[in-house]
Amino acid sequence: MHHDPDCLFCKIIEGKIPSQKVHEDELVYAFKDIRPWAPIHFLIVPREHIASMEQAGPEHARLLSHMLLLGPRLAREQGSNPYPDGGYRLQINTGTEGGQEVYHLHMHVVAGARPWLKS
């Protein structure tokens, strides 16, 4: 499994940088975002260093499906309101124009009140 010694998320996964763990298993590590957009905001990060969705291929199908199925379960466990009135957002930013800030594939899971909406 590939790791990048200079990657922020690889360092978090290895425990070299502290984080608020939400979940971990053999494929991913999930932790709370340090600058949350909403009351529930965490990241699901592959243990393997993959720079972005552009580098993901057919060999990553199990990992990607695991992330997509894990996100909703963890959102509910973290307190998201039930569907259909509640819900969550799953977001993967890719590349500079796509808003990616850390070049290690990751999925944002965001739920709860949306502070960016005006009342």
Give the active site residues: 106
Q: Report whether 38 contacts 115 (CB < 8 A).
A: yes
How many beta carbons lie within 10 A of that of residue 80, not counting itself?
21
β partners of residue 46:
28
List CB contacts of 97: < 8 A, sequence separation 6 or more: none
